[in-house]
Amino acid sequence: MSWVIILANEFGLFSERYSDMKSHRDDSGFVVERENYLVKDFKVVVYVSSEQGIDVDDNKYAIVCDAHGTLCGTDILRDARSFMRNPDRFCEDCQRINEMSKELPIEEI
């Protein structure tokens, strides 16, 4: 288990559901998914919000952090992909994990 996951577990930063790395390709409105680099075995997924039934203030795309259930929206696919690659830009729990990892001395990594 990686040290980031250990930190996330200690600080209670996971949602109750643990991912089995299932693909979301069969989900309604699926656009693209990517492994969350901050939380191993979880993904960040982009959906067409109206097809998935997600309310993101009338934005076309919903970006979902699978680890924490956090989401955000945008009308521009390029921006959605950017959020997907950097979940700490919209998910506060991922942001805390990222900040904690920067604070650790190299010996603890």
Predicted TM-score of the model (pTM): 0.74
| pLDDT value at residue 14 | 46
Greatest Cα pair distance in the chain? 47
Name the β-bridge partners of 8: none
Looking at residues 49-58, what average pLDDT do you find? 94
| Domain boundaries of the chain, sorted by first residue | 3-14+25-108
Cβ–Cβ contacts within 10 Å for residue 51, how many?
13
**What are 13-48's pLDDT values in tens digits?**
444 444 445 678 888 999 999 999 999 889 999 999
* 52-56, 69-73, 101-105, range with the lowest pLDDT: 101-105
Residue pair 5/40 in contact by the 8 Å Cβ criterion: yes
Dihedral (CA of 50, 17, 42, 10) sign: positive
Task: State which amino acid sits at residue 103.
Answer: E
Residue 96 clears pLDDT 90, i.e. is over it: yes
